[in-house]
Structure formats: structure tokens, C-alpha cells
Structure 1
Amino acid sequence: MSSPLVDELQRLDLQHNQWRLTLDGRLYIAPIPDPLPPGYEVLDIGIGTGLWAIEFADEHRNAVVTGVGLSPVQPSFVPPNCHFVVDDIEYDWVYDKQFDYIHGRFLSMGIRDWRRVFQQSFDTLKPGGWVEYQEAEPIFTANPSSPKPNLEMAALSDDVQEAATRIGVDIRQAHGWKGAIERAGFINHTLLHTRWPLGPWSKDPKEQAIGKMNQRNILNGIEGLTLAYLVRIRGDPAEEVRQRLERVRAEMKDPDVHMYMDLYVHVAHTPA
């Protein structure tokens, strides 16, 4: 039976599969050993449904995967080398071990102090350990060749960004993390920049597939992603916001409105 929670968990799993398609089937791009040595410690922060951690543990039986998140919504049946912890990564990280690899994904709408996250990642890694942040800037931009502008989505993106800044969250900063990551002590930083179209308008077959998935993802998730910012923080009337989101959804379905979202994967490691 469907429910708002079930629908959201399914949306997050769809989003996970978008990432896998983006990375050509991979879960990560960091050059960690293959095969992994026995007891390779992995920390996944902001786990969502836990699917990334579960699949990593399935594919790397030598790994010991710890997933950390705010909500205990992960399945109880998981690989024996995977377990989950309910915790808030914005507070002090307290673990009885250090890790070889840390992975985080899609956290930009909830983290206030990324410099602290970078520093705690560095302090929690073993010498030579790798970190990988797979992040999006959840702002949709009209493609230069779009037959029509994305007026409704552009205005909504601006208002969500403005609301986020009121609580200290910058949702448009992922592109510029290199300096902060290096100041935390990491070296050999690399950056992958890609995009997710919204809808199947791209001529590239891979982007078309991603665009179809992304359209479904955002159509199903846009209310949950924006309502709290606009109603609770800005004070906009809930019914007006819902009417506005209907106009945004109509624009998203318009085949003549071509827009996309930027994604960034930051990879670096600690000195050996």
C-alpha cells in the first residue's frame, strides 16, 4: 500500500539508480583498491534508504560498511558486512575506529557547515584514506538551446535558495568546495562535473535515459523538497505553494522547456 513515506523511499531508490547510470554502473569513482583488502572500513554518511551501502557491501565482501543517517528507514535484511547507525553528521563524529573510505551523497539541502563535515571526514580517515562527495546543486537551469525559458522553475529555485540561506544552508556551493576540502588537509583533489536533464529532451541517449528518470524523480519529490522551505521558513501560505507547484509540474512536462541540474563529484585523500 502506498504512503508518503513509501513513495519517498521509492523516489530515493530511483535517485540512487540515476547516480549509477551517471557513473556508468559504478557506485563510486575514487581509485580505491580493487579487490579491497580484508577489513576495508567504509563510512557512508547521509544514507537515505541505505541502498548505496547495501550494494557496496554486496559487491565488496571484504569491506565493512557503516551507514549513518537521521532516520531508521533502512531494511533490516542487509549483507552481514553492512550495518546502520542513527546519528546526525552535523554533530561530533564519535567512532571507535578510523575508515579507509568515506562516501556522502545528496546532502546539500541539509548541511549548514560543510567545512566541519570536511574536517571531520579528514580526522576520521586513516592515512591515505579516500573521501568522495557526490553532490548536486538542486537548481534547475534552462539549457541555452531551450525553445522556451523555465520561468516557473527558475523562480521557485531562487525562492528555495533564499529560504535556505535564512537557516544557514547554501544549496549552490557544491561546485566550489575544492578550497575548503584542501584546507581540511586533503590532497590530490579531483572534480567530476556532470548534469541531469529534466525530461528526455537531450539528444544524447544516456542523458535521455537519465532525463526520464529525473523527471519522474522531481515530479514525485518536488513538494517534499520545497514545501518546508517555502511554508515553514518563508511563511508562504501552503495552498498557494501547492498551486504554484502545479504550475511548476506543468512546465516540467512541457517538451519545449529544456532544463537541467548540475552535479559534482569531489574526490580527495589524506596524506599517507
Structure 2
Amino acid sequence: METLLSVVIDTRIWAVEFAEAFPGTQVIGTDLSPIQPDFIPPNCQFIVDNAEHDWVFDRKFDYIHSRMLTLGMHDWPRFFRQCWEHLEPGGWLETHETQFPPKRADGEQARQSAFITWGEHVYESAATAGIDVRASEKFTSQLEWIGFVNVEKVDVQWPIKAWAKGSKNKLMGRLLYQNTLEAIPAVGTALFTRRLGWTKEQVDADVVECVKDVEEERNHFYYSM
């Protein structure tokens, strides 16, 4: 029997790899921009859509997967309601989201740093746009209120840089490190100048301090699933 999958996602790799791993599954990926890969499996398709708008699918799904919508989602309860309405009975919803500000590794004394302060500025500036970058803390209660059952929340720590033990953690650390170096200037320029009134010079100076902090410290993002 064909399984239907809706993917609300900000990266195309996951949808393509899922379709390749499960060729009997029909995968539908949605994104705000038409930047999907040219070559995709025959059981995978992409549409340009906004997950915050009214969903127009004429079918229900067995599984809905979303990830990394933290800085773009204004109304999580409405999103979850649409997921509920578009799931088959017994269907599953899985969502992966980050939180800001980043938190230090377990066992280390909490202290202020340029990187953590940057995350607090992200929280402050996003809030002025009606976005809660700590929204995942409320997911369990929101999902249960709508009617979801067997809700499980898993907090995962990802190391920044390859200092953590184990080959898997080292690989994730290297990848998150590169992602962090790209995110610090991109997020700062987009949010701090528009929402906090910072000048480009202020953002540039903050980027230098944040990158230095990331280089020198051992940090984790809390990644909630």
C-alpha cells in the first residue's frame, strides 16, 4: 500500500534521501523558494508553499515532518492544527527545532559570553516580529491540547566544533561549526539591523566577537525534537 508523506522543510536533502530510502512512499516537499535539486527520485516532488498559510492539499498524509522553522513560524498552534487536520487516523507528526540562545555544555558553569549574548539578541529581535525562538518548550502541551497522543519530546545536545568524544559527535560538531559561522552574520544582519536598529558596523563587530567565542569555547546548541 502506498504511504503518503508531506515534508514541510527548509532543506531538500532530507526529502530526497527519504524518498530514496523508501521508494514505495510518495514524498511531497514544501518550501518557500523554488530552490529544489534538479534530479530527484520519481516518488518525490516539491511545491512552493508557505506552511503558515492555509493548506490546500486535497489528501491526507500518514507522516508529516517539519524542521528548522524556528525563525519563520509565527503561530505554532495553528500550524499544529493544520497538521492534525491533514493526518490520516493513526498518522504521525515529527518536528525538529532549535532554541535560542545557545546553552553551554553540561557540567560547565553558566556564564555570559558573546555567543550566548548573540542568541539573546536573536530572541529579543525575533520577538518584535512575533516569533518565539523558544517555542519548542511549549510543543508538548500545544500538541496534547489539539488531540495528539503519545507525544514524546527529546532534547539533544549538539557540540559546536569537533571537541566532543566519538566519531559521530565529532562529525556533527564540524558540521554545526560551519553552520554556526554562516548563521551568526546572516541572522545578525537580517534581524539586528531591522528589528534592533543596529548599524552594519555594530553587527560586524558583534560577528567578530561571536566567532572568537565559538572558536575558543566548548558550546552546545540545545536541539529539541
Q: What secondary structure sits across from 2:57 in the alignment?
A: coil
1:43 corresponding residue in structure 2: 6
Does the CA contact (< 8 Å) of 2:104 and 2:221 recur in 1? Answer: no
Q: What secondary structure sits across from 1:122 in the alignment?
A: helix
2:219 aligned with 1:259 = yes
Q: What secondary structure sits across from 1:189 in the alignment?
A: coil
Q: Deviations over 1:114-164 (max 9, x none)?
A: 000100000000111110001111421223544895510111111110011
Per the alignment, do residues 147 and 129 of structure 1 end up closer, same or farther by CA in structure 2, a change over 3 Å counting?
Answer: closer
Cα distance in 2 for residues equivalent to 1:138 and 1:156: 9
Does the CA contact (< 8 Å) of 1:182 and 1:189 recur in 2? Answer: yes
1:117 corresponding residue in structure 2: 79
2:178 corresponding residue in structure 1: 216
Q: Which amino acid aligns with 1:238?
A: K
Does the CA contact (< 8 Å) of 1:194 and 1:262 recur in 2? Answer: yes
2:65 aligned with 1:103 = yes
Per the alignment, do residues 182 and 217 of structure 1 end up closer, same or farther by CA in structure 2, a change over 3 Å counting?
Answer: same
Cα distance in 1 for residues equivalent to 2:125 and 2:133: 10
| Pick aligned residue for 1:172 from 129, 134, 148 | 134
Q: What secondary structure sits across from 1:68 in the alignment?
A: strand
Q: What secondary structure sits across from 1:128 in the alignment?
A: strand
Does the CA contact (< 8 Å) of 2:184 and 2:210 recur in 1? Answer: no
Does the CA contact (< 8 Å) of 2:100 and 2:122 recur in 1? Answer: no
Per the alignment, do residues 144 and 127 of structure 1 end up closer, same or farther by CA in structure 2, a change over 3 Å counting?
Answer: closer
Equivalent residue runs for 1:1-272 within 5 Å: 38-46=1-9, 48-146=10-108, 149=111, 151-254=113-216, 257-265=217-225
Report the more deviating stretch, 207-216 or 110-119.
Answer: 207-216
Q: Which amino acid aligns with 1:262?
A: Y
Shift of 1:51: 0.8
Does the CA contact (< 8 Å) of 1:138 and 1:172 recur in 2? Answer: yes
Shift of 1:204: 4.5
Per the alignment, do residues 39 and 192 of structure 1 end up closer, same or farther by CA in structure 2, a change over 3 Å counting?
Answer: same
**Structure 1: runs of 5 or more not aligned:** 1-37, 266-272
Q: Let me know the Cα RMSD of the aligned residues.
A: 1.7
Q: What secondary structure sits across from 1:262 in the alignment?
A: strand
Runs ≥4 in structure 1, deviation > 6 angstroms? none
Shift of 1:99: 0.5
Where relative contact order (Cα < 8 A, 6+ residues apart) is larger, the structure is: 1
Cα distance in 2 for residues equivalent to 1:146 and 1:191: 24
**Structure 2: runs of 5 or more not aligned:** none
Q: Which amino acid aligns with 1:121?
A: C
Q: What secondary structure sits across from 2:121 in the alignment?
A: helix
Of all paired residues, the percent bearing the same amino acid is 31
TM-score, length-scaled by structure 1 = 0.78
Report the more deviating stretch, 119-128 or 210-219.
Answer: 210-219
Does the CA contact (< 8 Å) of 1:49 and 1:73 recur in 2? Answer: no
Shift of 1:225: 2.3
Cα distance in 2 for residues equivalent to 1:197 and 1:171: 20
How many residue pairs align between the two structures? 225
Cα distance in 2 for residues equivalent to 1:126 and 1:244: 47
Q: Which amino acid aligns with 2:8?
A: I
Report the more deviating stretch, 192-201 or 178-187.
Answer: 192-201
Report the more deviating stretch, 117-126 or 208-217.
Answer: 208-217
Does the CA contact (< 8 Å) of 2:100 and 2:120 recur in 1? Answer: no
